[in-house]
Amino acid sequence: MAKKKLLCTLLLATTFMCAQKNKTIKELGLKYNPFRIETKISFKSIRTQAVTLSVIDILGKSILIDKIIAHKGMNNIAFKHNILSPGMYLYAIETSKEVLSKRFVVK
């Protein structure tokens, strides 16, 4: 029984480590959260690649879909809004293999 637990733990740890190695986008965040008019979305890319920035309201309606080229290293995207009502929104960076998302609040 102890051998099975050890094997399962080893398998899960190996799977987790392999999944971490395949990530191409890391450190997704905002400079200001909550914000009123403008913020900066930042993320780190391990290589130059095409990504899609999406902003979605809490009901699932797409507010913004923007395709950009992310360069290796830190990337910053200025985000100004003039149509968003105060509330919570989701933002996501999507590559061909993964999606990272977080939320932000507009005051």
Q: For residue 18, is pLDDT > 80?
A: no
Q: For residue 1, is pLDDT > 90?
A: no
DSSP codes, 5-28: HHHHHHHHHHHHHHHHHT--EEEE
Is 7 within the bounds of a domain? no
CATH code assigned at 83: 2.60.40.10
Buried b (16+ CB within 10 A) or exposed e, 34-55: ebeeebebebbbeeebebebbb
Is 37 within the bounds of a domain? yes
Domains identified in the chain, total number: 1
> Which residues span the domain enclosing 73?
24-106
Q: What is the pLDDT of residues 23-62, one digit of tens each?
A: 899 999 998 888 988 899 999 999 999 999 999 998 999 9
For 36, residues 6+ apart whose C-beta sits below 8 A from its C-beta are 106, 107
Q: For residue 2, is pLDDT > 80?
A: no
Is 44 within the bounds of a domain? yes
